[in-house]
Structure 1
Amino acid sequence: MLGFRPGTGPLLPVVMRLGDALSPQGGGWAVLARAVSEELASLGVPVLLGVRPVEGRVPLLLGLRSEAERPATADRVAAALRAGVERAGMLRPGVRPPVVVVGPAGGWAAASAGLRHAAETAAAAQGLPDRPWYDARRLDIDLLLWRLRDHPDLAAFVDRAIGPLLDHDRRSRPSLLPTLETYLAHAGRKAETARELHLNRQTLYNRLARIGELLGTDLDDPQTVLALSLALRARRHVS
């Protein structure tokens, strides 16, 4: 009835979430849906498109011939979605592009859960570095932390783990939080960290020593690294 004939291959759930600055008003959703539909029509894959104005998101189901098509199809779909948003006149300088999350491919029985998972993950991905699309399977930790965002224990954990560092950065320069984030993102590899931050080795060592002193911890300890990584990710979700 809806013209969606995906064949016998797996279904791919995708959700595009628009930030508050992008969400259209009034008839803008119809303009957006039409623009996105026209962009998706050029992909050559079966697509079932919906809009959820209250939640500010656009859910889709796509028909694949095989699981192996998932990465390439996700690239093309994400590009088409962003092109549709641009055609609708919603992308403006300084406004973050929409977040696109791609769930795991599966059958009809898994489609509903896959769309819900992708929708929640799109909310949890707000504030992450911009990417064409995010794989829902790789953001389960962020999703768990997002679900705990209103629990006081999560805020208390963030405060215990990195509170002294946040206090330092409010009062002093240079800010040390970016150094810690980059160091952990590179799994403690100091040469790569220094290169990305455009620091010489000794300056980086001094900053890492200061971070360890402020937090009263050893940045080479695996349990400490795990706790700090979780606290940095949780910080986006707590006030």
Structure 2
Amino acid sequence: MIKSWRDRFEQHYVVPEKKISLDEILEEAQEAYLGWLAASLTAFHGHFSEDQVDNLDRIFQGESRIRAIAKDCYDYAINGRFRLAKDGQEHEQMNDDWVCLAILVRSARPGIEEFNLVVRGRPIGVPAKLEQLLLHAQIRALLDFSTVPEFDEDSVPTFFSQPITGYLTLKEIALLGQMSERAVRNAAQPTAADRLRTRKEKTQTVVDADEALRWLKGRRGFIASRAD
């Protein structure tokens, strides 16, 4: 994932304790896709019609695909379920799916914010939940590369490739646990019952991956990853 994209969304739009349901994600993925089509038409032609959106959708055949990919993203980010690629062709297809979702998420917000879009009778809002979910999946991958033996570059989409630090920040742990960063900081205090052990990485407070996984397993909002 592009670092500038992550930095911007992590700083301005992500609320770690926000709970997200699968139904919300599927609905938002569909609306983001339709909004992206309508915004693209408006940007180039100054307007759009429902017929134009439908025609463009028929060309891309993307509505059902983006919902399916969003479901896979939810299954991994929230429920920890990940299907490993069995061969090179499947690896490439899985990567294409994740990149497709990422392109939509990265590009949908500017057009939706710029134009007042109503598609199929529904006002289109920015895909804030989908943005957070995609970041959630990236952070889970950062943890899994360090703690799940089956999680490697041969079986996991290239989309998830990132520098493996072996640690997580407190905000990353908060997002994975679907809790506030303040709650994570409180858990790192010496008097905490199940203390989260931290250390300093230069000027940053971090938690080693194994310790992060140990602590997260005791939180209600976290399900440990398992590869299928």
The question of a shared fold, defined as TM-score above 0.5 by the shorter chain, is answered with: no
Q: Which has the larger radius of gyration?
A: 1
- Output the TM-score relative to the length of structure 2: 0.31
Greater relative contact order structure (CA < 8 Å, 6+ sep): 2
